[in-house]
Structure 1
């Protein structure tokens, strides 16, 4: 377990209870190969925690009458084909737009391939209809990628510069910055790792996408942001931050709601807003209660989960209110260890040495590229760029693996089409490609 090994990557935890000074705890290495330990100045990629920053800037633009939250987003994003999607829909993940990064994987992109925000926006603008019914929640990074472009259109400046001027500098978040280009150097940045046998392997791909992610920050700076968010919450008349401006909607993690880059927990005695982030080996979590208690966790390895550590801290604070944080935080961190899934490896071993029966090659008008489908024994294999995903049967016509479900037509000898439902990009219809 990483928390037991000082030479391994690790995490940082911060707890700030109302009326007290913040308490920090660190373990592990920010950079394994150079033996640089994690400390108060270490910056981590906060992943989707950055969405609350983007949402705040959009709400500021609305307050200044630069935009209206219920106007069609296509008024400002002229290439957007879904003309009934509003800016508020983008904020609350009710646009029905599929996650563009998920679509890129179907297009054959590999982990180390370089792609840009422009590549993902191109995939977003190919979409001509909602993937889910109007008003239904579908978590999609595409929404916040488009919000970043919308802000740039309105202000005539890029999101990193806008965030610096309007948020980071005024709040003293001096260590916080977007990595707008993967070649940019971020001072004191941790590297992200995954275990590879008895050693470690880097996980960061050569890509940077301001808006839904690529915000590098420290636990201390996120604590400053949460303090500002708490002030906004207290000044508002709603039971939730910005609740008078954006309606919180039903979300994917019931019974929680989703609002402007924030999940909301409305349980009596537990009213809080929070968000988690998982970004190429990094993970992050922020949690803010109605009375101002703040918990921040940042990690730089795939086998530690910041959201699990934050949840463990909150649970132990409830169970042991009088116990010192210095004792609770290491115990909570130890509970954040992930158990890696072996499903893909098992599927690979099951199909090894068996001949592949060719089913066909297929295309989808929502995604560039061609997918190939084969079968070995009781498994299907979906190929892109020469690499297969191994899918196990989950029913008479459904197959699952690697974060999605494949559904075949019923009662057919030759497969003419199938449907792919990815976690964040459902309802993709693939049609057999015929020789010309």
Structure 2
């Protein structure tokens, strides 16, 4: 689907552009993809992680944005690339075993820093020189300054009971894993370039000669050079998609050259769902008018899911279990117990975790595991616990020792 929506924040596509600059550096012998990241960025402390593992999400690096609330950031706090890099550089060990896929935007933030080190200039200048200008992508840029005004930029909106409102949060500037502003026409040029780069070997996926495509977090799709791939013979394609601050974007390129692009600035219309529906419609009706196909795809989009709200129950007392620290995340969290649930407190907010197993308590996108099984109806003993977030697993928290109360001088006998 092609069309213009002004310049839109394109989440997902920027990883392919960052990766392309990295592969270009390898081709020009400026960057060894098998080189350990710590050799280039001395602050990075996880041993053995290579540049190619950053690109393929196999470095075991926790996604730093997932750690922000645990580190004391509130929902509307502004954060910077350096804030995320500091969180990344606290990590001392892989969060998962070597070779396992763990999607992490932080890997691409580190890749951006590596490219800056290798080329001596920022990612926007590198991408503009090597990708955007040669392909005629005149309306595409990485936003590097939050004060910068993007000409013709669209705003994101959300529907409310009282009408349309601007999305509350403003996108942050994180070149590498984010901050790419683009148009559908420029994305079309990029996909056309990828398709012609694979010719005449039609079975070859983009940049496969540099980085192999291996199993990802979404079976049967694989992941390689900044792109997901559908390797099935009858439907070979590469794609990417993403959501950020009310914007969403999806691009899809098949081995036949079919290019599908969907950009959305409507919080209730997810570009990846529209794209998947449109592709299914095109498969059933290949000769249909593209505008009719898009119309049907929009009509069949899934209804937005409501997120359960945890309302405080003032009548139910909470038993404090302790204050906890983790070497991989700054700051502290607290744990309380009430009516069979655990409550994880951080910076004045709380997550309610419901018991789902002998030692596990689960909330949206996180699981807390205790070292021992508490008896039914009894408060758990929690000297420590392991917290697994979707993109930041294996956080080991230990209870801080209780400080003894200060004692005054003894009364005279």
TM-score, normalised to structure 1, is 0.87
- Equivalent in the alignment of 1:261: 226
Task: Please state if 1:219 is matched with 2:184.
Answer: yes
The C-alpha deviation readout for 1:255-277, integer Å capped at 9, x for no partner, is 11100110010112100000111
Change (3 A) 1:341 1:380: farther
Larger radius of gyration: 2
Q: State how 1:326-341 maps to structure 2 within 5 Å.
A: 326-341=291-306
Aligned-pair CA distance for 1:338: 4.0
Provide the C-alpha distance between the structure 1 equivalents of 2:123 and 2:200, rounded to a whole number of angstroms. 26
TM-aligned CA deviation for residue 371 of structure 1: 0.8
The alpha-carbon distance between structure 1 residues 330 and 238, as it changes in their structure 2 partners (threshold 3 A), is closer
Q: Give the counterpart of 1:379 among 307, 320, 341.
A: 341
In structure 1, the partner of 2:364 is 402
How far the C-alpha of 1:137 sits from its partner, in A, is 0.4
Distance 2:341 2:34 in 1: 47
How many Å separate the matches in 1 of 2:214 and 2:306?
32
CA contact (8 A) 2:13 2:241 kept: yes
- Structure 1: gaps spanning 5 or more residues: 1-13, 15-22, 25-39
1:236 Cα offset (Å) = 6.1
For residues 355-398 of structure 1, the C-alpha deviation after alignment (integer angstroms, 9 at most, x for no partner) is 22222211100000111112221322211111112222222221
Partner of 2:204: 239
Alignment check: 8 A CA contact 1:308 1:335 kept: no
Equivalent residues of 2:62, 2:392 under 8 A apart: yes
Instruction: Give the conservation status (yes or no) of the 8 Å contact 1:112–1:205.
Output: no
Match of 1:425 in 2: 392
Partner of 1:114: 78
Counterpart in the other structure of 2:406: none
Q: CA deviation at 1:334?
A: 2.5
- 1:206 to partner: Cα distance: 5.9
Structure 1 residue runs of 4+, over 4 Å off? 235-238
Question: For 1:154-196, what per-residue CA distance to the aligned partner results, in whole angstroms no more than 9, with x for missing partners?
Answer: 0111001111121112211111111112221111212223444
> In 2 relative to 1, CA 192–375 (structure 1 residues): closer, same or farther, beyond 3 Å?
farther
Deviates most, 288-297 or 385-394: 385-394
Residues 153-164 of structure 1 aligned to structure 2 (within 5 Å):
153-164=117-128
Superposition deviation, residue 41 in structure 1: 5.0
DSSP-derived class of the 2:234 partner:
coil
State the aligned residue count: 397
Give secondary structure in 2 for the equivalent of 1:399: strand
Q: Unaligned stretches of 5+ in structure 2?
A: 375-379, 404-413
Between the aligned partners of 2:245 and 2:282, the Cα distance in structure 1 is 30
Distance 1:323 1:216 in 2: 31
CA distance in 2, matches of 1:41, 1:49: 16
CA-CA distance at 1:201 after TM superposition? 4.8
1:59 corresponds in structure 2 to 23
The aligned counterpart of 2:213 is 248
**In the alignment, is the contact (CA less than 8 A) between 1:364 and 1:428 conserved in 2?**
yes
Change (3 A) 1:281 1:325: same
Residues 1:129 and 2:96 are matched in the alignment? no
Task: Look up the match of 1:86.
Answer: 50
